[in-house]
């Protein structure tokens, strides 16, 4: 399993007391350095996403607005700020997702984990939202489709929040199946079961709401009983995981109660789908998670499960 990680992801700083801080990731990077998972190959060098890659899913006007924040601290929505390095760091995160998809499709390794920030799944085609500047999973899915010629891509999103941006970007697209479990009602307010896609994309969005306090059982039931048959019927050629770990029992924002065992069971399902559908190809991209212990538990579960199969 490949692990895309960089100290540069610590340079995006939304400001004091913001939950999406460099402190989310710093202890996880240090711990993985001290106690690496067997079978994991770290990758530290790749190119930032180009404007053409970003503009497959974001409007040129929005990409221009974001680029204009370079070197500055700008408030883009009530929860979302840039710092001077944010434009470069966000492009580096999208670039890591693209590089990971290319490596996995080339067969360099079956699995990859992109340990990046800021997160991406709330970012819409023309707007930053909910700590997210660029939608890395969407950029990676569009790259797999348009540059690498894959016909069907799954985005599995177990973050505690609904990935409104990813859903909206592919809502009318039958080649990208978007499946999300998330707490409802909750931020950002979307992700109801009746949101199933539009036009040719009807039936290619699946939303699985969870209730406050739900733990491993409800979380895993959503993925094994409701998501799994749809995923296997879709037969993706690549699995992207919008890997949010704010379902963690100790997360200060999430309000669910998923444990390490839940993360391990979810990771082993992902790799089972990948083995069944798409010669094992799975790329995990970090989304939310505001307790470093929860992020570490989730990341290690994905790395172990990936290294094992
Ligand atoms: Zn989240």
> Is residue 306 very low, low, confident or very high in pLDDT (cuts 50, 70, 90)?
confident
How far, in Å, from the CA of 218 to the mean position of ligand 1? 18
In this structure, the strands spanning 2-4 and 205-210 are unpaired
Which alpha helices (H) appear in the chain, and where do they start and end? 26-34, 51-54, 60-67, 86-106, 136-146, 164-169, 216-221, 228-234, 260-277, 292-308
**High-pLDDT (> 70) share of the chain, %:** 99
How far, in Å, from the CA of 295 to the mean position of ligand 1? 12
Angle between helices 86-106 and 136-146 (to 10 degrees): 40
- Residues with C-beta atoms within 5 A of ion ligand 1: 159, 161, 244, 246, 288
Angle between helices 60-67 and 86-106 (to 10 degrees): 130
**48: Cα separation from own chain's centroid:** 17
How far, in Å, from the CA of 287 to the mean position of ligand 1? 6
Domain of 63? 2-308
Count structural domains, the chain.
Answer: 1
How far, in Å, from the CA of 166 to the mean position of ligand 1? 13
How far, in Å, from the CA of 302 to the mean position of ligand 1? 17
- Each residue's pLDDT tens digit, 27-55: 999 999 999 999 999 999 999 999 999 99
What CATH number is associated with residue 304?
3.40.800.20
> Is residue 268 very low, low, confident or very high in pLDDT (cuts 50, 70, 90)?
very high
pTM greater than 0.85 (yes/no): yes
**High-pLDDT (> 90) share of the chain, %:** 97
- Each residue's pLDDT tens digit, 53-79: 999 999 999 999 999 999 999 999 999
> b or e along 251-290 (b: 16 or more beta carbons within 10 Å of the residue's beta carbon)?
bebbbbbbbbebbbbbbbbbbebbeebbebbbbbbbbbbb
> b or e along 71-81 (b: 16 or more beta carbons within 10 Å of the residue's beta carbon)?
eeebebeebbb
pLDDT at site 309: 57
Q: Which of 254, 284, 291 is nearest to 269 (CA)?
A: 284
Any catalytic annotation for residue 122? yes
Active-site annotation holder among 122, 136, 143, 161: 122
Q: Is the pLDDT of residue 211 over 60?
A: yes
């Amino acid at each position: 399993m490949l692990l895309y990680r960089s100290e540069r992801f610590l340079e995006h700083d939304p400001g004091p007391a913001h939950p999406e801080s460099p402190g989310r990731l710093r202890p996880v990077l240090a711990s993985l350095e001290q106690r690496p998972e067997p079978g994991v190959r770290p990758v530290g060098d790749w190119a930032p996403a180009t404007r053409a890659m970003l503009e497959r899913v974001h409007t040129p006007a929005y990409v221009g607005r974001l680029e204009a924040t370079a070197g500055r601290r700008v408030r883009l929505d009530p929860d979302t700020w840039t710092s001077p390095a944010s434009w470069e760091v966000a492009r580096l995160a999208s670039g890591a997702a693209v590089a990971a998809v290319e490596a996995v499709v080339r067969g360099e390794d079956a699995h990859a984990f992109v340990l990046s920030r800021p997160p991406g799944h709330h970012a819409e085609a023309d707007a930053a939202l909910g700590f997210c500047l660029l939608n890395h999973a969407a950029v990676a899915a569009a790259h797999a489709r348009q540059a690498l010629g894959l016909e069907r891509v799954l985005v599995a999103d177990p973050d505690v929040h609904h990935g409104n941006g990813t859903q909206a970007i592919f809502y009318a697209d039958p080649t990208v199946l978007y499946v999300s479990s998330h707490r409802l009602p909750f931020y950002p307010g979307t992700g109801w079961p009746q949101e199933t896609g539009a036009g040719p994309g009807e039936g290619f969005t699946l939303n699985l709401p969870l209730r406050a306090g739900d733990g491993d059982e409800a979380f895993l039931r959503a993925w094994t009983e409701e998501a799994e048959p749809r995923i296997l019927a879709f037969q993706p050629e690549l699995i992207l995981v919008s890997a949010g770990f704010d379902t963690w029992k100790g997360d200060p924002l999430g309000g669910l109660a998923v444990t390490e065992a839940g993360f391990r069971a979810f990771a082993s399902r992902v790799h089972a789908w990948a083995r069944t559908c798409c010669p094992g190809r799975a790329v995990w991209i970090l989304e939310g998670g505001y307790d470093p212990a929860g992020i570490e538990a989730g990341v290690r579960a994905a790395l172990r499960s990936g290294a094992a199969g």
